[in-house]
Amino acid sequence: MTNPHDIIIKPIITEQSMEDTADKKYHFVVCKRSNKTEIRRALEIIFGVKVKKVNTMNMIGKFKRLGKTRGQRSSWKKAIVQLKEDSKEIDFFEGM
């Protein structure tokens, strides 16, 4: 089994994701090769919560240019996780 911290890379903290926390939905950047069951297990181990549903999407990197040079940002995978009603909430800012 892989390390759960290798699957969950970082949380996504935006205005939209903070509004979704009222519905117990959390957004994460995850490893591109991970599947929904691995993401579910990793979150349950790391945060000690009960996961109800996992939605994933592949985000394609945008094309950018700087003068004559053209390039592309990296592609990444996003997971939106909904927790069960009896589960505790995840607090990203508790150490601050």
Contact 33, 6 (CB under 8 A): no
Domain 4-83 has CATH 3.30.70.330: yes
Higher pLDDT, 93 or 32: 32
pLDDT of 96: 55
49-81 pLDDT per residue, tens = 999 999 999 999 999 999 999 999 999 999 999
Q: Is the pLDDT of residue 93 over 90?
A: no
Per the CB < 8 A criterion, the answer to whether 15 and 6 are in contact is no
* Sequence ranges of the domains in the chain: 4-83
Distance CA 32, CA 67 (A): 31
- Model pTM? 0.88
Q: What is the CA radius of gyration of the chain?
A: 15
The H or E element containing residue 80 is strand 76-83
